[in-house]
Structure 1
Amino acid sequence: MPIVTIQITREGSDPARDAVTAAEKAALIKGASQLLFDVLGKPLDATFVVIEEVPLENWGMGGLPVAEYRRRRRSAQAD
């Protein structure tokens, strides 16, 4: 019985949105389950997928909170 945990920021794939849609979550569940079936032969009905939406302020990258990391990256790209 595989358990897959997917952690994503609440902003989704489009920073203008504040959440991932139900359709996107369904696609993640289907895709992760299918991957385990294709690679390991794990039955779809025995695979559990947990999606955790994490507030952006609880993520970090490059030693910085993600928002600050992105600000610096945009600033560097503008130069």
Structure 2
Amino acid sequence: SWLRKQRWVGVVGDFLPLAIMVLLVLHASTSSALARGGLPVPEAAGVFLTLIVQWFVKKPLLSIFAGTAVYVILVNSLFA
């Protein structure tokens, strides 16, 4: 109970999920680009579209689906 009352625990609790997601996206994007042997253009396009759709539509499932679809289409057609 002492730990829950500490202010910094609340700050870390608010910041940590976003920081973990950003690190996971960066790691996955760079790893797949390095495995493919090119620049992370499809990864960046997918993340960018996901952010734009989420910003305007505010539907997480739709934005994740749109970003994933763009990534898969780009990787399989243009960067194959």
TM-score (structure 1 length as normaliser): 0.34
More strand by share: 1
Structure with the bigger RCO (C-alpha within 8 Å, sep 6+) is 1
